[in-house]
Amino acid sequence: MSRDATAGVATIVSFVSPADDTGRSSAVANVAWILAGNGKKVLAVDWCPKTPRVYDFLRPVQVDAVAAARTLGDDLAAVLTPAPDAPPVSPSTVIAPVAPEQGTLYRYAVSGSTATFSMVGLGAATDGLPTGDAARIRQLLQQADYDYVLIDAPVDLSAPGITHSAVLSDVAVVCMPPRRLSVQHAAGLARELQQRATGGIRVLAAPTLHEVPDPGHGGSRDYVRQAFAWLLEEEAADDAQGPAPTGILEVPAHNYDTFDDVLSVLADDPKDANSPLRAYERITEWITGGEVTRAAPVPDAIRGRYRHAVLLEPAETLGDIAVAYDPVDRPWADWIGGQLRRAGVRSHLRAVRPGAQPGLGPGSTVLAVLSPDLAETGLSGLRPDAADASAEVLGVLVAGEAWRETSGPERVVDLRGADAVRAQSLLLSQLGLIAPAQPAGGLRNVPRFPADPDRRVRFNVPPRNPSFVGRDDYLERLRDHLTSEDGPVTLTGGAGVGKSELAREFAHRFAYDYDVVWWIPAQDRETVQTGLGALADEIKAVDSTGAAEAALKALVAPDGAFQRWLLIYDNADDADVLTGLWPHEGVGHVLITSRDDGSSGLPSPLEVAALTGDESVAMLRRVLGISTEDARSIAVALEHLPLALRLATAWMRQRALVLERGGVPSLEAVGQSVRELLTALERRSDEELGESIPGSHTSSVARVLRITLEALRATPFGELAIRLAELSAFLSPEGIGLPLLRSTSMLTQLAAASGRDADELLLDAGEVDLVLTVGARFALYDVDWGHGSALRMHRAIQVLLRGAIPEPERYERHRQVLRGLAGYAPTDPEADDSRYAGVFEELQQHLIPSGALESDDRQVRHWVVKQVRHLYLSNDSDAWRSALQLAAATCERWAGGDEMDQLTMRLFVQTANLHRALGDHQEALRLDELVLSEQRRRYGLRHFRTLVAGRGRGGDLRGLGRFEDALVEDQATFEGFRGLVGDDHPNTRMAVNNLGISFLLTGDAREALRLARQERDRRMLLFGPEDPRTWRASCQVGTCEREVGEYDRSLATLREALARIHGLPTGSLLDELRVNRSLAVTERRLGLTIPAKKRSAETYSGYVKNLGEDHPLTRGSLLSLAADYYRAGDAGIAVKSAMRCLRGYDRKLAQGHPFTAVCSVNLGLFQRGLREFDQAVGYGDRGLRSLRAKLGDAHPWTLAATTAQAGHLAARGDLDTALTMQEEAHATALGYLGRAHPVTRDAAANLAAIGALRNGTPGVAALTDADIDVPQS
């Protein structure tokens, strides 16, 4: 008996079984697929928590996962798959959960067709049917928009569960294994379902038999028929009443040799009459009353790929898949190819171009990236031969409207609007492929999804050119080269051929595939370092290295945040400029543009030629809409050079607008502008520039530029635009900040260049934006009005404009530019103020292009001095080295006269600062004393500039170990500044800091601490906690607190200083290293050996990378690390490290330098730890003698060295000598340092230990072994 069928009402089919291993879940999955493939709307319900589940069989063809309530409605979703209390796993999770997430509806694709079906389920923690009234669930299901609902019911239903299924279902499929007891239970279950059904239920027995046709299993078959004889009787009785109410269909057991859960509809041969697939088709036929008899055909290629994916066939049986695409869609082609490769299929990319066949052979499987661009290109080469039955073409729709190409692929996968996970599922499921478990995002070399809106790319590339056309071959070759990991590639060619435009387009087109895309001007080494420094700031590369090195290291870190990167070095005409400044490892890519002809050794040159004829025509027609014939005439006249075409396009556009305003119709105006341009191009000018740039063909650019300038002279604001362009021609081609161009100083020079009244122009300064607009409309330059806020002019136009200005006007224009830059520079007091750093950074990029270093103008030279000062204050070793190169050459040029002027002396002082910062104190002292003697002669001892030079000399003397001389110099400098500008002036505060350091070095740590605290407190009051100099002063306080024995205070002070500096946006890496180094020493004094050693190692590594092995700060850091190794019990490494330091000090420092002596003392201490007592005594004696000679007997270092030496002697057995030496040292320490000083305490402890040894108490370990720390002076 059966319920009355009602059209439009879902048929509810429950698959039940009394035991495991019945194939029930496989049956649900396969029947759902067969029904959906035949156009039926199907919902599968996975209520059985035992594995394998329906969910497991269908996972490979999942295409989506959404909130169930969105599709089913709140009421039905709540009873079928109640949402959990906690949020489910995100539907976009790449690795699928082990069981269906409650509250989630899964969608599946029928591979080889556009059909889909859905499934909901209960989680792994549930134990069966959901609670709820079965009749109500039935009513909700019947009202849902489905033809069939297939339910995988729990195993071994209880009595309430049987009733639930009976009330709920129209059809019950009872599955059972071929075991007698199970068959008996299944028959009882079937009878109970019929008895408890309130409106009748159709029952099908589906026993799983081993090898159905095998006569050996006839007994099982017979027993099943006996157990279900009553079903067969009902079937015979009701034969004429429509669909059979009962029946028996045998299902062969699965024989798949794999661990995967296999979908028979995809794995079985449809011609095999004894396969599980054929059995599922018969079950479907029975359920539908004969309406659906066979599964929808699955292409052989899809079946083969699926069998390979579930390990039923070897990879060798798979064919390749070609991905066909228009070059503009290469990002999508890359992503698709990457997904295919991850799924284990070989793929090949085939770019499709007009008139060219993609080279696809017979039997090919083709994925065509369907976009408007491919529609324009045409699909004729992709259509399979009608006679080629094995050919397969699948369209992949990625953009635009729905595909309307009638002759295109019949099967289309629509990826529009899909995220990466859903797009992957949609694509692979249609090909019979299974996504690997590992997320693609975790693989560094898999192309990324091009349409990810949430991916953040660190990006500074100039805006792409909206008129960019063509260059497909170059872009394809670039992408191929870079993704094949063949290393950097260099775009070469003459000026104006479009190298930078090509690199810019590549960066914008493929930015999605990178974490960082960074554009680095590369005309000189300093500019490259500046660009890398900006990158370091952007990615927060605070790895205790120089800015450029820090950026490079952050990019190649294996576990770094920036796994993929593209660095573009623009205009690198000299390979030496890039030496050591690009990454040589990692997964990123390097792209270089250069006019180099290949002689300088830049890697993998790819020469860029002018545009092709078709590309030139396309460029002109896209912008103007002129005829193909006119466009071709102009392109030929301009030799297809992109820059010349761009200028010509702008001229024609502006000329056509003028004609239209005069009443000429639009189309006629365009045609007339073309004719006028061609006529003008035929004219030759005696003044016209020829080949102005070596290796470049710029005559066509020069001709159209001449025409442009003529037109501008007849345009409102055009004359001013020309003058502005001429001024810009002497500035950086990488960009000129609009604030600079709008500044009073530059507007004054613009007025002078154009013969206008400066006051009039300044009164209406906004007029300059109109001038900028006019020049941009004629393509003299581009203007970025947004965040970039800059004017950019092509280098070729700069060269031609400079060459077009006649002398002496050219000289005057150059002078005006330099005056404008000098006037924009902050004043001397402002040069030390970090608030003006941005102004100096803008000026820095124009320093070399403008030729400022060769200028004799006093204002310009003054700016150069301030600019070098700014680089010194940057606290960046890369900037110091670059600045030193510039400053040293400029010093030599400026000092060529008979007598140094004030600006030359000031530059010498700033150059000395750079030498000192880089560790060359001897050269710094030479320059400072050269200046100081001259200034004292001219201006006296208390002149401001004399004191500035004296301040530098004090630092030089400290670095050279002349501590007493430095103290005298620093005292005089402090008193001089205090008298001139008062206690709170920044120069006075710097003098106080220096004076404190000198007191510390000369042994008066108490006075040094007093001055350090005064300096910190005044800086906190004057400048606040956001000024890094406040925390530099605090670092000095913590150091001095340690030296007087206040270890706990020192620890707290230094920890706070480190945290504060690290958190400041203006904090310096060198500041962090300085505090870190001092904090490690304090931790060592407090016995915190492990953290001290770790911190010292980090600091030493940072100094090596930032300042090099030979810098005094690096060497002092290594000696401190050696002390930590000694404290940690590894005296051998301590000795080796100290020996390296000593050799370095002997090589770099003058004989008798206190730092060398301290190193020798510490080396002796470490050798005592190895029980090498003779060596310890030898090195200890060397250091002690040197310290006595240089610093005197009462200096804390001398007394500490004496205590160490007494310990060495005592350890060796010379107890009487040791006791006498220690008694004298202790007495001296008491008299000069006081009882509480740590050196005095160490002397007392060592004296007691030596006395005990002398009195017969054993124990060399009781001897004190305090190391001496070389300060960071």
**Per-residue exposure over 470-480, b if at least 16 CB sit within 10 Å of its own CB, e if not:** bbeebbeebbe
Q: Taking phi first (over 0 means left), then psi (-120 to 50 degrees means alpha), and beta for anything else, what does residue 252 get? A: beta
Cα separation, 872 vs 887, in Å, equals 11
Query: Would you say 1127 and 1165 are in contact if contact means Cβ atoms under 8 Å apart?
Result: no
Local structure of 518: helix, strand or coil = strand
The per-residue pLDDT of the chain, averaged, comes to 86
Q: Which amino acid is at 157?
A: L
- The parts of the chain modelled with pLDDT lower than 70 are 1-8, 84-97, 127-129, 156, 210-220, 232, 234-245, 315-317, 354-363, 373, 375-391, 400-408, 437-444, 542-546, 598, 684-697, 765, 1066-1067, 1258-1261
Torsion of CA 634, 635, 639, 645, to 10 degrees: 90
Beta-sheet pairing, 516-521 with 605-607: unpaired
Quick one: pLDDT at residue 4?
43
Cα–Cα distance between 745 and 752 in angstroms, integer? 11
Q: How far apart are CA 567 and CA 581, in angstroms?
A: 11
CB distance 416 to 397 below 8 Å: yes
Q: Read off φ and ψ for residue 491, nearest 5 degrees.
A: -85, 115
3-state secondary structure 603-655: CCEEECCCCCHHHHHHHHHHHHCCCHHHHHHHHHHCCCCHHHHHHHHHHHHHH
| Angle, in degrees to the nearest 10, between helices 1028-1043 and 1069-1085 | 20
CB 572 within 8 A of CB 597: no
Q: Tokens 């859903």 label which residue?
A: 422
Contact 112, 296 (CB under 8 A): yes
Q: What is the pLDDT of residue 243?
A: 64
User: Could you write out the three-class secondary structure of 999-1065?
Assistant: HHHCCCHHHHHHHHHHHHHHHHHHHCCCCHHHHHHHHHHHHHHHHCCCHHHHHHHHHHHHHHHHHCC
- DSSP character string of 298-310: --HHHHHHHHHHT
Q: What is the pLDDT of residues 622-678, one digit of tens each?
A: 777 788 999 999 999 999 999 999 999 999 999 999 999 999 998 889 899 999 999
What residues are paired with 13 via a beta bridge? 150, 171
Buried b (16+ CB within 10 A) or exposed e, 717-740: bbbbbbbbbbbbbbbbbbbbbbeb
Beta strands 116-121 and 148-152, pairing class: unpaired
Please check whether residue 275 is in contact with residue 268, taking contact to mean a CB–CB distance below 8 angstroms: yes
C-alpha 1070/C-alpha 1236 separation (Å) is 33
* Amino acid in position 1150: A
**Strand 790-792 to 782-784 pairing:** antiparallel
Helices assigned H by DSSP within 510-546: 525-538
Helices (H), 825-943: 828-831, 837-847, 858-873, 877-894, 902-917, 921-939
For the record, the structure tokens of 1077 come out as 């180094």
Closest to 491 in 3D by CA, of 606, 392, 354: 606
Q: Shortest CA distance to 1016 belongs to which of 1007, 1005, 1027?
A: 1027
| Cα angle 419-424-428, degrees, rounded to a multiple of 5 | 155
Among 53, 62, 61, smallest CA distance to 306 is for 61
The residues with which 120 forms a beta bridge, in sequence order, are 45
Q: Is the dihedral of CA 341, 343, 345, 351 positive or negative?
A: negative
Strand-pairing partners, residue 590, are 567
Cα–Cα dist 688/39, whole Å: 74
How far apart CA 172 and CA 194 sit, in angstroms, is 9
Strand partners, 246: 203
The enclosing H or E element of 958 equals helix 944-959
